[in-house]
Structure 1
């Protein structure tokens, strides 16, 4: 589907592929109860169309793992392993991409995709660490956010090996050099990848005493297990550290990776797009399953919901397919990094993957699904974050609104701004 799609029909429900899965969404009463500590407590009334059902498209995380357990607010509060924000341990730290030692200049090209897979224009700016810090300052409003100096980490050779395909490189901190495994990219999109587990170990080693959590940004492709093609990020929630890679979010890779631009959130809720995705998979889909009807869905196309406001704002911007500007693509890249950063830090707050709504805390099985998911927290996970940060819904939304207003080149941020304004 192209920009010519008018996104004229929107849905707040899951796609028809739901009938081929075992996923059963908690009903409206269960969702309301999940967002409260006491089931007798009156929940906040949400505008129709503000929060939608998970899309459940072929290959999506909940389609593949439909019985993933739900985590209510009460279950989150009762979790004995959850780290709590404390007065002496409440700062979120963001670590910039590592610099390169003069002996390790051969590593620099590893952050660039192979030209045969890169269909984007030159001149795109990768996500700026200070912009990501500002976004997290808004998203976790109430917690201080500090961006560490660019000199915090430095990539170097390991044991003096200057081969262009070393098995190991070193990551130098203020006190030690830690070995990082590398390997050739299995799909050849990038020359080499860094091991995610090793990077998380480095994050643990540099966690400041006053940190609630620490997020490390890397511009290189990463992998977690031998079976992976790549990974985009991971959190060790109990250890309060997370690592994300911005490499695969490079907009020049969208065509190769099948990432939807025009139908990224919020236009991912376009009925025509969902029908096309399901039609493509019809031949391989298992038989439809009998399901109980879930209660409380807003399936009507009201035309005046926060979702409609977000889609209208998205449509009003120039096409992301027909010669998009460098600024628009740079903002698209930043938006993807911001969304994943907020998600991974959510795990450090103790939040599990969401099964209640289309939500930033949903699990993600692909870059396609990642692009289709919203940047905001659903009512259940918002309640958890507000408890952790001590902020209010309005304060958090207004902080995010101020950030979005400063980034008017980005389709995601412009759509998010319209959604936030409709909510407020």
Structure 2
């Protein structure tokens, strides 16, 4: 089974004697090669995959960051095409979100807002929010985490159950929960786990609210939780389309080992990953960005809203 992990490593594994991965920051030529040739595309689509200074090349990682702990070769647009990813077809064109367990108001992100954001991100595919599965019906082993003293579900149990819940017209489904997860007894926790072959995954938002670490919520807490949850949902759904972690730009598809690293990643896709998604679902770049901009503006994501406005102006002016 092919798994994609989004995790936080136990600090015991990060000893001074650990073997770290070697990462080389990308060159301008390397970035252009990763996007691939753009001839033959119409002007607006070509501009959507062009970096004219709007994007930042992938920075050198810190000692605890993903690319220090994980050696990844990356995936160019050409390599993505060669991978022949399992893509949506006429009979499987819906994305499903399955809530499991309890979602306490004030701690949990708004699930309808997440559905709306995912629908804009993956336009023109339809995104459906399924009815929540009660705690007692989740077929997963439970334990109490010795560090947090909070309940956890075993993620592999949920992962084995999810393919049976995927509707026939579903291309992919992600289960989301406010219950913390762990993959086996040797792990403290895992943010989530997915089977790319079966196109299902489960991800926890439990640690995304500052209250998890004992911090008091503030005026910006709701926006912070929404931003974090929206990022992880769209990132992990991206893997379902065969898009691997990005090592070219600062991008939604960057791997992340911890919340600080995840918070630093953008909500949007870089030109390389955007082109991969375009191949998978054939969106109109202007329409997609317009939908995302409206969402950001309506939900207090001001920096993201302004960035897309600037990007839209450039794309619309392309000739």
Tell me the TM-score normalised to structure 1 length. 0.63
Q: What's the secondary structure of 1:57's corresponding residue?
A: coil
C-alpha displacement at 1:228, in angstroms?
2.1
Greater displacement, 45-54 / 224-233? 45-54
Task: Specify which of 82, 87, 91 is matched with residue 94 of structure 2.
Answer: 91
C-alpha displacement at 1:69, in angstroms?
1.3
Q: Deviations over 1:48-84 (max 9, x none)?
A: 143332351221111222x41111112112214x211
Any stretches of 5+ residues in structure 2 without a counterpart? 1-19, 313-319
Q: Deviations over 1:139-175 (max 9, x none)?
A: 101111111123xx2222xxxxxxxxxxxxx52xxxx
Spell out the pairing of 1:264-413 with structure 2 (5 A cutoff).
324-325=218-219, 328-408=220-300, 413=301
Mapped to 2, the partners of 1:238 and 1:34 lie a distance apart of: 25
Task: Specify which of 306, 311, 317 is matched with residue 423 of structure 1.
Answer: 311
- Counterpart in the other structure of 2:211: 252
Mapped to 1, the partners of 2:250 and 2:23 lie a distance apart of: 14
- Counterpart in the other structure of 2:167: 208
Q: Deviations over 1:4-34 (max 9, x none)?
A: xxxxxxxxxxxxxxxx972112322222122
- Counterpart in the other structure of 2:8: none
Q: Deviations over 1:152-204 (max 9, x none)?
A: x2222xxxxxxxxxxxxx52xxxxxxx3111221322x422101111112221
Q: What's the secondary structure of 1:416's corresponding residue?
A: helix
Question: Is 2:147 the partner of 1:187?
Answer: yes
- Counterpart in the other structure of 2:315: none
Q: What's the secondary structure of 1:212's corresponding residue?
A: strand
Structure 2 CA distance for partners of 1:254 and 1:35, relative to 1, 3 Å: farther
State whether residues 94 and 133 of structure 1, in contact with CA within 8 Å, keep that contact through their aligned partners in structure 2.
yes
State whether residues 216 and 244 of structure 1, in contact with CA within 8 Å, keep that contact through their aligned partners in structure 2.
yes
Question: Is 2:31 the partner of 1:24?
Answer: no
Number of aligned residue pairs? 287
Any stretches of 5+ residues in structure 1 without a counterpart? 1-19, 100-110, 113-122, 157-169, 172-178, 257-320
Task: Specify which of 125, 129, 144 is matched with residue 147 of structure 1.
Answer: 129
Mapped to 2, the partners of 1:52 and 1:253 lie a distance apart of: 32
C-alpha displacement at 1:235, in angstroms?
2.1
Q: What's the secondary structure of 1:243's corresponding residue?
A: strand
- Structure 1 runs of 4+ off > 3 angstroms? 38-45, 253-256
Mapped to 2, the partners of 1:255 and 1:154 lie a distance apart of: 26
State whether residues 194 and 220 of structure 1, in contact with CA within 8 Å, keep that contact through their aligned partners in structure 2.
yes
Structure 2 CA distance for partners of 1:51 and 1:396, relative to 1, 3 Å: farther
C-alpha displacement at 1:255, in angstroms?
6.8
Structure number, greater radius of gyration: 1
C-alpha displacement at 1:207, in angstroms?
0.5
